[in-house]
Amino acid sequence: MTATAEGQRATTTNGGAKPIFGERRGFWPQFGTYIFILGPFVAVIAAVPFAWGWGLGWVDIGLAAFFYTLTILGVTVGFHRYFTHGAFKAKRGMRIALAIAGSMALQGPILHWVADHRRHHAFSDREGDPHSPWLFGTSPIALMRGFWHAHMGWIFDRKLTNAERFAPDMLADKDMVRVHKQFGMWTAVTLVAPAVLGGLLTWSWWGAVTAFFWAGLVRVGFAHHVTWSTNSVCHMIGERPFKSRDKAANFWPLAILSMGEAWHNLHHADPTSARHGVLRGQIDISARLIWVFEKFGWVYQVRWPTPERLARVTAD
Ligand SMILES: [Zn+2]
Ligand SMILES: [Zn+2]
């Protein structure tokens, strides 16, 4: 077993304990990882031509794209960069709007999301991390199990992260507690709103049904997999140009769909940075939106990356 460079670094910061990382993943587990990630997406896309013209049209596509963008940005800009990591400050109206948009992604109520994600950073890829793919070992079977656990298996754990420990600031904010408790309502809104819009735009009941299916259900499922891929894929595969004490990696194929969250190696190296895609050509749509909000004065004290910050976290 040869320890990787990351393993050696982790060992030194670990006080001489056994290396965190073992052998490289073999060909078949690697292949299986791709299949698991790409398979469901391909299946949904493959269904498109069969449904086109009778059960799917441009109105459904447009609504799905709109609600996908709204809710993913609610998670990336709101739940993640703002509420979890405090990458900027926001005016009250913007704060509530971001909490609602993120809730509409159906990734759990806001207090749970923030507490889970702060725990992920506190223990990343170690015991205590709610969704590390590395908790079961490095054999092919252990990695398949780890991938499943990191991607979605962990969600079924009934033990909730202690919000009093990990999110006391959120608990102290009455508006945030209210949005948290309204999660059921926002669940209904995110599914019913596309149906209503689809019905009105096509002036038909059938239009409401197809919009409910594509822009409601399929859109939520698709967005789930994109977000979960940050927890699974981006902790397994990709480049690691920055110093993070875990296996977080930059996985470029997901950069656009994840709205910048796939630049996950930089994020773990510098968690409060408002921009994750900091290198040349690394498109980060969430950072661009924060920039627009800043220009309007809706957010302020944004923690943009600086050359000094980047120099501190660049891997040697
Ligand atoms: Zn992570
Ligand atoms: Zn994070």
Residues with CB under 5 A from ligand 1 (ion): 248
Q: Which ligand is in closest contact with the Cα of 246?
A: 1
What distances in angstroms separate CA 255 from CA 144, 171, 237, 264, one per listed residue?
24, 32, 13, 10
Q: For residue 136, report the distance from its CA to the centre of ligand 1, in Å.
A: 17
Q: Of 22, 235, 25, 233, which is closest to residue 123 (Cα–Cα)?
A: 235
Ligand 2 centre to CA of 254 (Å) is 16
Q: How far is the CA of 267 from the centre of ligand 2 (A)?
A: 6
Q: How far is the CA of 179 from the centre of ligand 2 (A)?
A: 21
What distance in angstroms lies between residue 46's CA and the mean position of ligand 2's atoms? 33
Token pair 């909730």 is found at: 160
Ligand 2 center–CA 16 separation, angstroms: 27
What predicted TM-score, i.e. pTM, was given to this entire model? 0.85
For residue 254, how far is its CA from the centre of ligand 1 (angstroms)?
Answer: 14
Asked whether the beta carbons of 260 and 284 are under 8 A apart, the reply is yes
Of the listed ligands, the closest to the CA of 274 is: 2
DSSP string, 178-206: HHHHTHHHHHHHHHHHHHHHHHHHHTSHH
Distance between CA atoms of residues 314 and 269, nearest Å:
8
**What is the helix, strand, coil percentage profile of the chain, to 5?**
60, 5, 35
* Centroid of ligand 1 to alpha carbon of 174 (angstroms): 28
129 Cα: distance to centroid of ligand 1 (angstroms): 9
Q: What is the pLDDT tens value at each position of the chain, 316 positions in all?
A: 344 444 344 444 445 677 656 677 788 877 777 777 677 778 877 888 888 888 899 999 999 999 999 999 999 999 999 999 999 999 999 999 999 999 999 999 999 999 999 999 999 999 999 999 999 988 888 998 999 999 988 988 888 899 999 999 999 999 999 999 999 999 999 999 999 999 999 999 999 999 999 999 999 999 999 999 999 999 999 999 999 989 999 999 999 999 999 999 999 999 999 999 999 999 999 999 999 999 999 999 999 999 999 999 997 7
User: 229 C-alpha to center of ligand 1: Å?
Assistant: 10
- Nearest-ligand number for the alpha carbon of 130: 1
